[in-house]
Amino acid sequence: MRIRRVALTALCALSVAGAAFVTYALLTVGDGRESNAPQPAVAGAPASITDPLMRGEYLARAADCIACHTIPGQMPFSGGVAFRMPFGTIYSSNITADRETGIGAWNDDEFVRALHAGVGRSGEPLYPAFPYTSYTALSRNDILAIKAYLFSVPVAHVPAKQNKLAFPFNQRWGLSLWNALFLRKERFRSVQGKSDAWNRGAYLATALGHCNECHTPRNRFYALEHDREFAGEVLQGWKAYNITSDETYGVGSWTGQQLSDYLGKGHASGRGTASGPMGEVVENSLQYLTQDDIKALVTYLRDVKPQIGERGSELNDRPPRALASTADTPGADEMGHGDLGLQLFERGCAGCHLWNGGGRQNEAARLLGAPAVNDPDADNLTQVVLQGSHLQTAHNEGFMPSFGGAYSDAELAALGNFVLEHFGGKQGKLTAEVVAKRRTP
Amino acid sequence: MHLVCQISDRSPMIELNVNGKVRDYDVDPSMPLLWFLRDVANLTGTKYGCGIALCGACTVHLDGQAVRSCVTPVAAAVGRKVTTVEGVVDDGIGRAVQAAWQKLDVVQCGYCQSGQIMSAAALLRTNTQPSDAAIDAAMSGNVCRCAAYVRIRAAIHEAAATLGG
């Protein structure tokens, strides 16, 4: 009797393990149709660029590979950038053509499989910090053009850093299950009835540019909630704003010019300046896109289903206190009350931003209408003040020093709340405790 | 050969109005206004401090508004009136500020003072009777290492009094 039960249990365990192994194998190998699968009708690089390597460079920029695969000041694409996730730290890999530490030994199918299925060269599942859930929609041609470009840049011998993940997140096999639930290995399909620009914009935004990876909320399994596409999310301390077509909470009220300026130049008159991760996206990626491609992105964003945001975060570009101020002085209501936030703004900020938020001879320093001064959570406002901001494009250069070392948590909270009230007409919720947490994201 | 290059590379002359004098200058439009003022126009009263618009030492006026000339390209001054500390005394406000500065002996080391004077004159143009708080708010972008802030504030009150009375 006892022997039978043990045997039965063993048999059960074996069959479960067997089924798991088969599932695992099937899931990790890829969809097996990589070479023959139909190609998307949209190509990521404009037809005007004919040189294959230049197409690859354009695509690699549009996909912003460099941002995640390069530590500033180190060899481009040599990896090692840390991604601090709620469950541990992941380091990006060396994607130069070094045979030992990079991707020099990878063949075309292996590289395509990595982007389409999130699988490494020896079949190991990759962590979805690598945005293969977006890249899976890319065409094989585009992926191979990127590979050819990566194989043309200087080779760096930089061994991978060990990820620091706690159990069970350090078990890569678990990712196969995650993929089974959340990865849809489908190539981009043009939507009939939409313009070429719309389809091109959709391919650039959702596949190559992988805007979703920051701007779309994630569920508790850290997977994208696609039914809330572009509704906004906080990552590594920075808020990726709602960029849906909602007029109140998204970018629906932005003019076409404002949208294309923000994307292509990092600053939109009356809508603020890109900082932090979005500043990097503009510097590394968007500023290199053609005008037509920026327009295509705008066309697509204009049509993204509107999503409601948090009540109280509505953009107010006519805040009463800023309007009551001149460039030189705040309004009479505010002056002489000894408000700590106002005093700090006077000492550190007014010289460049001016009391009316107009910015002293610098468009990048204009505050009115900027999402950062309208978000009651003040995520990006806190980060910009803590870390400073630097945006360099072919069009302009913006620079703001860091104040993290100069002021205490309580002072920065007071400053942040003053800025929200004065320039956004918002009741800020910053406290010293919140600022302290944001110092170490 | 060198001569040919010079002629073919030459950018068009740029017309600028500096302290009321209109002249054509052979300068690169992207040159910082501060550099142009000191090295081309020989107006060395405007000082170089930080070079990134954080200290206020290089403050001049464009159409009466205080700007940091270190980060202002020459191109931004085309078609506008540039006023430096050498020219600010050409109007009543500037003269009142200068007189107050002399009367109260504001200057210590002096390096920041041309910038302070330019910011003070710009303030008095929009606010003829500024309070202490208004002065602090308006002068916040002009740093003084000698910490002559109290005398600067007193001198602005003095200038406002002469202008008002």
A335-345 pLDDT, tens digit per residue, is 877 899 999 99
Q: Do B126 and A326 touch (CB under 8 A)?
A: yes
pLDDT digits over A19-72, tens only? Answer: 665 555 555 555 444 555 667 878 899 999 999 999 999 999 999 999 999 999
Which of B132, B136, B139 to mutate: most A Cβ within 10 Å? B136
Pairing mode, strands B14-18 and B81-83: parallel
- Please name the residues in contact with A221: beta carbons below 8 A apart, sequence gap of 6 or more: A178, A181, A182
Residues B55 and A294: their CA atoms lie apart, in Å, by: 37
Cβ distance of B67 and A355 shorter than 8 Å: no
**Quick one: how far is CA B109 from the chain centroid?**
18
8 Å CB contact between A229 and A216: yes
CB B139 within 8 A of CB B133: no
Burial class from Cβ neighbours inside 10 Å (0-12, 13-18, 19+) for residue A344 reads: buried
Is ipTM beyond 0.90?
A: no
Q: What is the pLDDT of residue A166?
A: 87
Asked if A319 and A368 touch (Cβ cutoff 8 Å), the reply is: yes
Distance CA A359, CA A352 (A): 6
| N-term to C-term CA, chain B | 65
Distance from CA of B144 to the nearest CA of A (A): 12
A218 CB-side CA count, 13 A: 18
Neighbours of A221 (CB within 10 A): 9
CA A96 to chain centre: 22
CA dihedral A76, A200, A282, A277 (to 10 degrees): -80
- What H or E segment, with its residue span, contains residue B16? strand B14-18
Omega before A168 cis (within 30°)? yes
DSSP state of A204: I
Q: Which residue of A has its CA nearest to B57?
A: A351
Among the partner residues A330, A352, A401, nearest to B137 by beta-carbon distance: A330
CA distance A295 to A257: 9
- pLDDT at A2 (0 to 100): 65
Interface check for A211 against chain B (CB to CB < 8 A): the answer is no
Q: At what angle do helices A140-150 and A108-117 cross, to 10 degrees?
A: 120
- Main-chain dihedrals φ then ψ at residue A408, nearest 5 degrees: -75, 170
pLDDT tens, B90-141? 999 999 999 999 999 999 999 999 999 999 999 999 999 999 999 999 999 9
Q: Categorise residue B28: left if φ over 0, alpha if ψ from -120 to 50, beta otherwise.
A: beta
What is the tens place of the pLDDT at every residue in A375-396? 999 999 999 999 999 988 887 7
Q: Is B153 exposed, middle or buried (0-12, 13-18, 19+ CB in 10 A)?
A: middle
Radius of gyration in angstroms for the set of CA atoms belonging to chain A, rounded to a whole number: 24
- Say if B128 is an interface residue toward chain A (CB within 8 Å): no
Q: What is the pLDDT of residue A352?
A: 87
B82 touches A at CB < 8 Å: no
pLDDT for position A41:
77
Instruction: Look at residue A406 in the predicted model and tell me its pLDDT.
Output: 87
The pLDDT value given to residue B6: 44
Contacts of A335 in chain B (CB under 8 A): 131, 133-134, 137
Structural domains for chain B: 2-83 (3.10.20.30), 88-164 (1.10.150.120)
Residues of chain A found within 8 Å of residue B132, distances taken between Cβ atoms: 336
More confident residue, B159 or A392: B159
What confidence score (pLDDT) does residue A302 get? 97
* B125 interaction partners in chain A (CB closer than 8 Å): none
Residues of chain A with pLDDT under 70: 1-3, 6-8, 10-38, 441
- d(Cα B114, Cα A105) in Å, to the nearest integer? 64
Residue in chain B nearest A337 by alpha carbon: B133
Considering only the beta carbons, identify the residue of B56, B72, B126 that sits closest to A351: B56
Residue A268: in which H helix or E strand, if any?
strand A267-268
pLDDT at position A36, please? 58
Nearest to A346 by CA among B52, B120, B139: B139
A165 part of contact set with chain B, CB < 8 Å: no
A144 vs A154: CA distance, rounded Å: 18
Taking the model in full, what pTM does it have? 0.83
Q: How far is CA A347 from CA A154, A335, B61, B83, in A?
A: 46, 14, 21, 26
- Report the half-sphere exposure of B107 (CA within 13 A, side-chain side): 15
Note whether B140 contacts A: Cβ–Cβ < 8 A: yes
> Which of B76, B127, B132 minimises the CB distance to A328?
B127
pLDDT tens per residue, range B48-88:
999 888 899 999 999 998 999 998 889 989 999 999 999 99
Phi, psi of A88 (to 5 degrees): 145, -170
The two three-digit tokens of residue A362, written as one number: 């610098």
Cβ partners under 8 Å of residue A172, min gap 6: A124, A125, A127
Q: What angle do CA A384, A206, A230 make, to 5 degrees?
A: 50
A66-95 tens-digit pLDDT? 999 999 999 999 999 999 887 899 999 999
What pLDDT score does A25 carry?
Answer: 53
Six-digit token string for B78: 């085309």
pLDDT score of A32: 43
- Nearest alpha carbon to residue B125 among B63, B82, B32, B55: B63
Distance CA B34, CA B42 (A): 11
Q: Tell if the CB–CB gap between A360 and B126 is shorter than 8 Å.
A: no
Q: For residues A343 and A331, what is the distance between their CA atoms, to the nearest angstrom? A: 14
Tell me A431's DSSP state. -
